[in-house]
Amino acid sequence: MKSIELIRNFLAARQGIEATKVVPEALLADLGVDSLMMLELVFEFEDQLGVTLPDELESPKTVGEMVALMDGLVASQKG
């Protein structure tokens, strides 16, 4: 599963947000992602993609930043 799909599925299930609204430039806060939901998304990411996020993680502001973070971690932990 690609990172953007994971985010879209997560937000659809928890917030009822249409996939067409989950685009790279969308602000996570505008999609209803607060600090608790961000943690839930991180846990979902770790479970689904089998990677571990570092403890000192700067919280992404947009969907695109979250995708870049996820994709970068997947690539670094596979290599």
How many Å apart are CA 39 and CA 33, to the nearest integer? 10
**Tens digit of pLDDT per residue, the chain (79 long)?**
789 999 999 999 999 999 999 999 999 999 999 999 998 998 888 888 888 877 787 889 999 999 998 888 888 877 6
- Would you list the domain boundaries of the chain? 3-78
Class of domain 3-78: mainly alpha
Q: What is the pTM for the complete model shown?
A: 0.88
Give alpha helix (H) positions in 3-79: 3-15, 35-49, 63-78
pLDDT number for residue 73 = 83
CA distance 66 to 26: 11
8 A C-beta contact, residue 60 and residue 66 = yes
Tokens of 24: 């790279």
Q: Determine the pLDDT at residue 56.
A: 81
Q: What is the phi/psi pair of residue 27, to 5°?
A: -75, 130
Contact (Cβ atoms closer than 8 angstroms) between residue 49 and residue 11: no
| pLDDT, position 10 | 94
